[in-house]
């Protein structure tokens, strides 16, 4: 059963997609490393690593898949002898917004990055599907709508509540993390003092 899904051709396509996604992801990661985080706090993650880098990879994969769909649409229209830019415009807008999103994540360290990224998530996801249906009469299946909403919702929650995102881009949530960091530092200091006292007591 599984062998039907994981044929050589499928594995080859997955491998190519993986390479096409990994290379730009590393490029974004390398660029992002040159920009310090807005408000790094001890004991808390910051920088474009972890799940934030996973998000970057999903955006790059979305750009690749959208570009492939656009190229296929162009080929079909060329065979029909008519190139309709109205059909291609949603894909162009989506790719442009995603590239802008990657630029924000890699090069900016401001709180507005989080807000704009969340807006882009919903615009290129559920809202774009709604416009495709209403304006262009495209048929969108329910599974696609559900996946798009889940993707936007999950990453919205991540950007709103992630400590890494807050420290990297300096959102208001950092203020609450500062108090936690101070408490953790005090606790660690107290633990070291207890360990030193215990060592001195043993020596005596």
Over its C-alpha atoms, the chain yields an Rg (Å, rounded) of: 23
The stretch 100-118 carries a mean pLDDT of 96
Domain ranges of the chain: 22-173
* Residue 10, CA distances (Å) to 52, 117, 166 in order: 28, 32, 39
| pLDDT value at residue 107 | 95
Tell me, what's the pLDDT at 201? 67
Percent of the chain with pLDDT over 90: 46
What is the reported pLDDT for 187? 66
Q: Are 133 and 140 in contact (CB under 8 A)?
A: yes
Burial status of residue 117 (CB atoms within 10 A of its CB: 0-12, 13-18, 19 or more)? buried
Rounded Cα distance between 118 and 164, Å, is: 16
The better pLDDT of the pair 100, 141 is held by 100
How far apart, in whole angstroms, are the C-alpha atoms of residue 8 and residue 15? 10
- pLDDT tops 70 at residue 32: yes
Smallest CA-to-CA distance from 65 within 103, 17, 98 is with 17
Q: Report the 10 Å Cβ neighbour count for 155.
A: 21
pLDDT of residue 5: 62
Nearest of 58, 65, 120 to residue 93 by alpha carbon: 120
Look at residue 176 in the predicted model and tell me its pLDDT: 73
Question: CA torsion sign, 141 to 125 to 94 to 135?
Answer: positive
pLDDT in tens, 42-65: 778 899 999 999 999 999 999 999
The pair of structure tokens assigned to 32 is 């992002």
Q: Which pLDDT tens digit goes with each residue over 159-189?
A: 999 989 998 998 887 777 666 666 666 667 6
Greatest mean pLDDT range, 47-56, 124-133, 142-151: 47-56
Residues with Cβ within 8 Å of 129's Cβ and at least 6 positions away in sequence, in order, are 140, 144, 145, 148
Return d(Cα 45, Cα 169) in angstroms, integer: 12
Q: Is the dihedral of CA 40, 43, 44, 47 positive or negative?
A: positive
Residue 57: predicted pLDDT: 97
Residue 106 has pLDDT above 70, yes or no: yes
Any idea what DSSP says for residue 81?
A: T
Q: Tokens in use for 115? A: 């807000």
How many alpha carbons fall within 13 Å on the CB side of residue 176? 7
């Amino acid at each position: 059963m599984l062998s039907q899904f994981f044929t050589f051709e499928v594995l080859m396509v997955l491998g190519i997609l993986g390479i096409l996604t990994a290379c730009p992801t590393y490029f974004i990661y390398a660029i992002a490393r040159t920009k310090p985080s807005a408000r790094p706090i001890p004991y808390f993650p910051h920088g474009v690593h972890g799940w934030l880098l996973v998000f970057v990879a999903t955006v790059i994969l979305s750009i690749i898949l959208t570009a492939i769909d656009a190229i296929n649409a162009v080929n079909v229209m060329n065979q029909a002898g008519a190139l309709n830019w109205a059909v291609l415009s949603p894909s162009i807008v989506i790719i442009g917004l995603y590239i802008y999103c990657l630029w924000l994540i890699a090069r900016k360290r401001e709180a507005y990055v989080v807000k704009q990224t969340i807006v882009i998530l919903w615009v290129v996801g559920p809202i774009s599907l709604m416009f495709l249906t209403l304006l262009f009469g495209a048929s969108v299946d329910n599974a696609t709508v559900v996946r798009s909403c889940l993707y936007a919702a999950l990453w919205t929650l991540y950007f709103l509540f992630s400590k890494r995102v807050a420290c990297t881009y300096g959102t208001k949530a950092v203020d609450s993390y500062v108090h936690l960091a101070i408490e953790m530092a005090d606790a660690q200091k107290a633990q070291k003092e207890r360990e030193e006292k215990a060592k001195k007591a043993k020596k005596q």
